């Protein structure tokens, strides 16, 4: 077998096999390893699970001197070092949480050159006494993991990372590798600028073909969630919510419905959180309902689904969070419930913040996320384009591809809604309009005599969810607006006139209420 011969002749592949037991490099690993061994700075952008660690672990063994790995997460450091020690690589970590004797021992090993890899937190690395210590040692390179933390464009800015910009000044000749799983064009540029490098860049593919993306209009979130999880039959999953209060609510409701669910957010004690995390990792707990505090560094390969109960903060965050599903390469689901009103709510929050560059960043992120959620084209294409990756063909494994949005002549239903809004004096919110349309006999309707209106009950043949979706589309199309300053009352815009007069055919999208089940194309 000639390829086997080739492998055995190539020293890099030999080391990969000998030390780590892998037969071949993954996409991009070899190029990065060769570049850094030649002394070049590198920027490595690979999706989570893509094999970033190997890009510095193998060179660390091949190069002269010590490799420093900067990592923001103490738990992750320990895991990595443990597995390196198991494969016989001399590695250690230094951080603020370890006992003093342990850190003294690490410093001793350092002095005697007994270590190949040392993991440190950024603040530990940049302590002046430690920098001084390093300046007297032979150094192979610096690897900066989760490098997006240095950038305000990233989804997880950490001030202690910003100081890493000093490294190139202290150690101009030591190659520097920045690694991250999430970085759009702006984040990439900002990482390089802040670190002061013009690196060789590796951009691995971000596609996760085994994840099926679905965005459903949020109409009756509790039912939609229940339906989705029931179909999952006890699989492991994560449900992200935007607030602690919501996390508690949803977790409690799921437990009442008989699901095996735990909650996780920063308002809980360390122990409570550890118990939930551990239960999830060891498959004692099927579901974790969480804020974004949960997940970074969670290494669980059989997460079968990730639900976004509320809109994520940005496309990067969405990609990162959904990326926790299906690390084992088997089919997995990313399911998002989308309420267009959330966009307005978040926009309103941002408007209240201090004007300046950070505010612009937030607006940009929100707009990108809104564009993703509202897209009528293949979700994967939108996502990959966001990361500047070309994707020429629709994927066949997202809700849009599997069940393309259908259009229908919605002129009559639009007229019903618009005239109902008009009869109500343009002074009532969405729910009241729907109540009247559907002929409800609820007190707020009867008390105001709205059951006497000619539009009362003209829409009783359709569901609440249906009318909600139609009204949202009318708002989206500019025919009506919601007046935030007047209790979210809906009013008509001039564009509504031709529709009301029957002069215009209005095509609407069929509401995407149902879940798609059992239509999966197998991912290859």
Interface positions with ligand ADP (CB under 6 A): 22, 25-26, 29, 46, 48-54
The least distance separating Zn ion from the CB of residue 383, rounded to whole angstroms, comes to 9
Least distance to Zn ion, CB of residue 394, Å? 5
Find the binding residues for Zn ion in span 84-103 (CB under 5 A): none
Give whichever of 3 and 256 is closer to ligand ADP, judged by the CB atom. Answer: 3
Q: Which is nearer to ligand ADP, 116 or 450 (CB)?
A: 116
Provide the minimum distance between the beta carbon of 402 and Zn ion in the complex, in angstroms, as a whole number: 8
In whole angstroms, what is the distance from residue 67 CA to residue 142 CA?
A: 6
Q: Which does 52 bind (CB under 5 to 8 A by kind): ligand ADP, Zn ion, none?
A: ligand ADP
Q: How far is the CB of 404 from Zn ion (least distance, A)?
A: 10
- Closest contact distance (angstroms) between CB of 342 and ligand ADP is 30
Q: Which residues ranging from 401 to 430 are in contact with Zn ion (CB under 5 A)?
A: 401
Least gap, CB of 21 to ligand ADP (angstroms): 8
How big is the site for Zn ion, counted in residues (CB under 5 A)? Answer: 6
Residue 314 binding partner per list Zn ion, ligand ADP, none, with a CB distance cut-off of 5 to 8 Å that depends on partner kind: none
Residue 183 has a CB neighbour count (10 Å cut-off) of 25
Residue 52 or 365 having the CB closest to ligand ADP: 52
Rounded CA separation 288/267 (Å) = 15
Number of H-type helices and E-type strands within the chain? 24, 17
Residue (20 or 130) nearer to ligand ADP, CB: 20
| Binding partner of residue 178 among Zn ion, ligand ADP, none, CB cut-off 5 to 8 Å per kind | none
293: left (phi over 0), alpha (psi -120 to 50) or beta: alpha
C-alpha–C-alpha distance, residues 377 and 389, integer Å: 16
**481 beta partners:** 491
Q: Which is nearer to Zn ion, 204 or 211 (CB)?
A: 211
Quote the CA–CA distance of 255 and 266 in Å, as a whole number: 20
Question: Least Å distance between CB 311 and Zn ion?
Answer: 20
54 binds, among ligand ADP, Zn ion, none (CB under 5 to 8 A by kind): ligand ADP
Site membership for Zn ion, residue 215 (CB under 5 A): no
Picked from Zn ion, ligand ADP, none, the partner binding residue 48 (CB below 5 to 8 A depending on kind) is ligand ADP
Burial of 190 (0-12, 13-18, 19+ CB in 10 A): middle
> Shortest Cβ distance from residue 224 to Zn ion (Å)?
21
Phi and psi at 428, nearest 5°, equal: -125, 155
26 interacts with, out of Zn ion, ligand ADP, none, CB within 5 to 8 A per kind: ligand ADP
301 φ/ψ sector (left φ>0, alpha ψ -120 to 50, else beta): alpha
* Residue (42 or 378) nearer to Zn ion, CB: 378
User: Which residues make Cβ contacts (< 8 Å) with residue 283, sequence separation at least 6?
Assistant: 236
> Which region, left, alpha or beta, applies to residue 466 given φ > 0 means left and ψ of -120 to 50 means alpha?
alpha
Q: Measured from the CB atom, is 161 or 206 closer to ligand ADP?
A: 206
User: Backbone phi, then psi, for 184, in 5-degree steps?
Assistant: -80, 180
Q: DSSP code of 23?
A: S
Q: Residues 343 to 402: which contact Zn ion by CB under 5 A? A: 378, 380, 394-395, 398, 401
Q: Which residues, other chains included, contact 512 with Cβ-Cβ below 8 Å and sequence gap of 6+?
A: 215, 216, 217, 399, 403, 405
Least spacing, CB of residue 398 vs Zn ion, in Å: 3
**Is the CB of 127 or the CB of 406 nearer to Zn ion?**
406
- Find, among 121, 87, 94, the residue nearest to 15 by Cα: 87
Rounded Cα gap, residues 161 and 179, in angstroms: 13
Is the CB of 204 or the CB of 250 nearer to ligand ADP?
204
> Shortest approach of ligand ADP to residue 451 CB, angstroms?
60
Nearest distance in Å: CB 383, ligand ADP: 18
Choose the contact partner of 378 out of Zn ion, ligand ADP, none; CB within 5 to 8 A by kind: Zn ion
| Segments in 397-503 forming alpha helices (H) | 399-402, 411-423, 430-437, 443-447, 464-476, 497-500
* CB-nearer residue toward ligand ADP: 29 or 214: 29
Nearer to Zn ion, 288 or 395 (CB): 395
Q: Of ligand ADP, Zn ion, none, which one sits near residue 401, judging by CB under 5 to 8 A according to partner kind? A: Zn ion
CA distances from 333 to 24, 386, 509 (A): 29, 20, 24
51 binds, among Zn ion, ligand ADP, none (CB under 5 to 8 A by kind): ligand ADP
Separation in Å, CA 53 to CA 40, 41, 145, 179, 398: 17, 16, 8, 9, 30
Instruction: Name the site residues for Zn ion (rule: CB under 5 A).
Output: 378, 380, 394-395, 398, 401
């Amino acid at each position: 077998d000639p390829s086997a011969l080739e492998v055995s002749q190539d020293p890099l592949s030999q080391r990969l096999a000998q030390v780590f037991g892998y037969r071949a490099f993954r996409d991009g690993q070899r190029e990065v390893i060769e570049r850094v061994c030649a002394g070049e700075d590198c920027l490595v952008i690979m999706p989570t699970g893509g094999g970033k660690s190997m890009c510095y672990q193998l060179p660390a063994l091949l190069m002269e001197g010590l490799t420093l790995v900067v990592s923001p997460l103490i738990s992750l450091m320990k895991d990595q070092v443990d597995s390196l020690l198991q494969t016989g690589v001399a590695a250690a970590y230094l951080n603020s949480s370890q006992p003093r004797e342990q850190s003294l021992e690490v410093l001793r090993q350092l002095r005697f050159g007994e270590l190949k890899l040392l993991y440190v937190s950024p603040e530990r690395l940049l302590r002046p006494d430690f920098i001084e210590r390093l300046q007297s040692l032979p150094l192979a390179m610096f690897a900066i993991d989760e490098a997006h933390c240095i950038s305000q464009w990233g989804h997880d800015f950490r001030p202690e990372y910003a100081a890493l910009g000093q490294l190139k000044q202290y150690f101009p000749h030591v190659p520097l590798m920045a690694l991250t799983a999430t970085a759009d064009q702006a984040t990439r540029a900002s990482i390089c600028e802040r670190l002061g490098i013009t690196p060789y860049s590796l951009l691995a593919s971000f596609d996760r073909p085994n994840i099926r993306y679905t965005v459903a209009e949020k109409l009756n979130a509790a039912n939609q969630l229940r339906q989705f999880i029931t179909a999952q039959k006890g699989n492991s999953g994560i449900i992200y919510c935007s607030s602690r209060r919501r996390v508690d609510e949803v977790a409690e409701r799921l437990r009442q419905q008989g699901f095996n669910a735990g909650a996780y957010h920063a308002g809980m004690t360390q122990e409570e959180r550890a118990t939930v995390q551990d239960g999830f990792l060891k498959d004692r707990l099927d579901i974790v309902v969480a804020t974004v505090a949960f997940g970074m560094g969670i290494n669980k390969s059989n997460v079968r689904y990730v639900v976004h109960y509320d809109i994520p903060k940005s496309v990067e965050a969405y990609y990162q969070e959904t990326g926790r599903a299906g690390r084992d390469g088997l089919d997995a689901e990313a399911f998002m419930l989308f309420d267009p009103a959330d966009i307005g709510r978040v926009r309103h929050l941002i408007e209240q913040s201090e004007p300046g560059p950070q505010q612009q960043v937030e607006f940009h992120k929100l707009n990108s996320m809104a564009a993703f959620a509202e897209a009528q084209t293949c979700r994967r294409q939108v996502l990959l384009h966001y990361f500047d990756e070309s994707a020429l063909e629709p994927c066949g494994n997202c809700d849009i591809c599997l069940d393309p949005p259908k259009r229908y002549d919605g002129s009559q239903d639009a007229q019903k809604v618009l005239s109902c809004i008009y009869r109500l004096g343009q002074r009532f919110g969405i729910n009241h309009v729907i109540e009247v349309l559907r002929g409800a006999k609820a007190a707020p309707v009867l008390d105001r005599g709205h059951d006497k209106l000619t539009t009362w009950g003209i829409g009783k043949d359709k569901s609440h969810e249906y009318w909600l979706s139609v009204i949202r589309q009318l708002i989206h199309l500019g025919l009506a607006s919601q007046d935030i300053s007047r209790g979210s009352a809906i009013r008509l815009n001039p564009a509504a006139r031709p529709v009301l007069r029957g002069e215009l055919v209005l095509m609407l999208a069929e509401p995407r209420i149902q879940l798609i089940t059992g239509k999966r194309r197998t991912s290859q």
